[in-house]
């Protein structure tokens, strides 16, 4: 196909969306017998990974912080532009910090030391804290919903620290109660 300018396929005045593709190499066993869906780089597509016997290995879709007293809730949406003006843009609005050595452990420790109930990482290097969040920000519990939290932590590339306008959201566990991550299907 030959495009001539101007054409309906190319309009310099049309709004464009920046897209980033993140490839995560699979280092698990060689595929063979059973299948398990795991999220791919897009939120609406699942990739089937086949493995042999034993527990089904999955990539580290989130950092398990239960030993530190924090349960993973999911990948929560942020809002860039908010109307009306009194609607909150951030999921967690209490306080924030940023660091080029950000990890989920650092963020949970930071928020916990300040007495917050919720903590979350975003954009590889940001940490947000608060004691509540709006019900409209409740993360989904599907494997596909985790695909938007695909940015590697700036301080530990083995962990995910949210994404572009997506927050890896954790909740402090009640003392003496079981600390369990959300179940994703």
Question: For the purposes of burial, counting CB atoms within 10 Å of the CB of 151, is it exposed (0-12), middle (13-18) or buried (19 or more)?
Answer: buried
Give dist(CA 4, CA 92) in Å, integer. Answer: 48
Residue located via tokens 């420790």: 109
| Residues 49 and 34 sit within 8 Å (Cβ to Cβ) | no
56 neighbors 31 (Cβ within 8 angstroms): no
Per DSSP bridges, beta strands 126-130 and 46-51 are unpaired
Q: What is the pLDDT along the chain (185 residues), one digit of tens a residue?
A: 444 444 444 444 444 444 444 445 545 444 443 334 444 444 433 333 333 333 333 447 899 999 999 999 999 998 766 566 665 678 999 999 999 999 999 999 999 999 999 999 999 999 999 999 988 899 999 999 999 999 999 999 999 999 999 999 999 999 999 999 999 99
What's the predicted TM-score (pTM) here? 0.67
Every domain of the chain and the residues it spans = 66-172
Residue 7 CA to residue 20 CA, distance in Å, equals 26
């Amino acid at each position: 196909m030959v495009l001539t300018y101007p054409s309906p396929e190319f309009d310099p005045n049309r709004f464009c969306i920046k897209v980033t593709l993140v490839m995560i190499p699979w280092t698990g066993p060689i595929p063979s017998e059973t299948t398990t869906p795991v999220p791919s780089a897009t939120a609406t597509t699942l990739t089937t990974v086949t493995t042999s016997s034993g527990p089904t290995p999955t990539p580290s879709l989130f950092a398990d912080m239960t030993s530190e007293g924090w349960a993973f809730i999911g990948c929560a949406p942020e809002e860039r532009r908010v109307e009306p003006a009194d609607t909150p843009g951030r999921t967690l609005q209490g306080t924030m910090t940023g660091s080029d050595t950000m990890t989920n452990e650092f963020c949970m420790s930071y928020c916990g030391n300040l007495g917050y109930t919720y903590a979350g990482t975003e954009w590889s290097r940001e940490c947000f804290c608060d004691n509540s969040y709006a019900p409209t920000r409740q993360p989904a519990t599907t494997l596909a919903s985790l695909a938007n939290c695909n940015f590697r932590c700036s301080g530990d590339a083995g962990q995910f620290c949210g994404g572009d306008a997506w927050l890896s959201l954790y909740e402090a566990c009640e003392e003496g109660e079981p600390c369990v991550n959300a179940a994703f299907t």
